[in-house]
């Protein structure tokens, strides 16, 4: 099963008003479906990969019911605020021992915001409000320290202002009467982030000035599509990308070294972008197969130019593949 996705809301009007809408904080965590069947817990990423081994502190979810499916986020708190960088690197952990060590120092909490299945009953066709009521009852009965339900607010504009003041990611507005639409980016859920966070694909890298091997910046893009919306590929079947810029900010120190290690394992390939970039941008660059997805914070994409404004590296998205980004084009 693939999760329902939110549509970007209009920042000029802000969150919708009226009793038909509910508003939640947009948490800066890893989106996971928690699937419990016959005492076994699977924590599924948007791409369908089970990463339960990486979150041993969430193992108690397996005892909530014989059959259960939750939608929510794994969130790590630092100084009382969610910190994406503290949780995203958990996605690649495959060793139970290593995951236990991380969980002991940086425990995550699963914030459940939807209940999709319970004891064999598919709840996705019910209104959000009914699913929410059932979710609160199930979570209250479970009484797990690593499990919570984010509060809901009636005043979306007030919540947006409060989250901005507190340095939180933003707001998600949900239509109370809406069913859960599996795998659909729906206007029944509207997101209002305080920053423009975009997932992009790495198409190459260039070294830091004065070195030959140290990572200085990455060239990034979004999957190119044809008129029917299908991804474009080169003659060898590799994904083609639309260039959106070069990202160097945020790559200093340990973060850059870790990303460089990851990119060193990606096969080199011909130039992957559909359009040529200036020679000064391309000089000294190494081109890669489009495999790695990153999150980049920016001031948006410059109209007419199609380049990210002041982009900054936020982290690797090992829970996403490049094809997951086709629907966001």
Give me the active site residues, please.
26
| Residue 129: closest CA among 27, 20, 213 | 20
| CA 112 – CA 118 distance, rounded (Å) | 14
**Residue among 53, 15, 323, 71 at smallest CA distance from 199:** 323
Helix (H, G, I), strand (E, B) or coil at 256: helix
Residue 233, strand partner residues: 239
Percent of the chain that is helix, strand, coil (3-state, to 5): 25, 35, 40
| Beta carbons of 96 and 51 less than 8 angstroms apart | no
Cβ burial of 135 (10 Å; 0-12, 13-18, 19+) is: buried
DSSP 100-166: HHHHHHS-EEEEEEEEEEETTEE-TTS-HHHHHHHHHHHHHHH--TTEE----BS-HHHHHHHHHHT
């Amino acid at each position: 099963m693939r999760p329902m996705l939110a549509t970007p809301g209009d920042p000029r009007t802000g969150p919708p008003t009226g009793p038909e809408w509910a508003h939640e904080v947009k948490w800066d965590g890893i989106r996971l479906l928690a699937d419990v069947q016959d005492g076994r817990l699977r924590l599924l990423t948007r791409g369908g990969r089970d990463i339960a081994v990486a979150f041993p502190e969430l193992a108690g979810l397996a005892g909530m019911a014989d059959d259960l499916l939750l939608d929510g986020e794994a969130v790590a708190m630092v100084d009382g605020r969610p910190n994406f960088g503290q949780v995203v690197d958990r996605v690649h952990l495959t060793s139970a021992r290593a995951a236990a060590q991380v969980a002991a120092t940086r425990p995550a909490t699963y914030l459940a915001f939807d209940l999709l299945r319970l004891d064999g009953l598919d709840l996705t066709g019910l209104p959000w409000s009914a699913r929410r009521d059932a979710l609160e009852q199930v979570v209250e009965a479970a009484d797990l320290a690593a499990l919570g339900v984010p509060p809901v607010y009636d005043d979306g504009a007030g919540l947006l202002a409060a989250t901005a003041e507190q340095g939180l990611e933003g707001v998600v507005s949900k239509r109370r009467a809406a069913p859960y639409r599996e795998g659909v980016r729906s206007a029944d859920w509207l997101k209002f982030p305080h920053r423009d966070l975009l997932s992009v694909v790495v198409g190459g890298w260039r070294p830091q000035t004065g070195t030959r091997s140290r990572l200085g910046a990455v060239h990034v893009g979004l999957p190119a599509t044809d008129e029917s919306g299908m991804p474009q590929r080169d003659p060898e079947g590799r994904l083609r990308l639309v260039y959106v810029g070069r990202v160097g900010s945020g790559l200093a120190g340990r973060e850059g070294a870790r990303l460089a290690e990851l990119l060193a394992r990606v096969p080199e390939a011909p130039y992957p972008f559909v359009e040529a970039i200036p020679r000064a941008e391309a000089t000294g660059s190494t081109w890669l197969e489009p495999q790695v997805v990153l999150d980049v914070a920016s001031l948006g994409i410059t109209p007419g130019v199609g380049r990210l404004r002041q982009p900054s590296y936020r982290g690797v998205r090992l829970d996403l593949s490049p094809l997951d980004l086709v629907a966001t084009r």
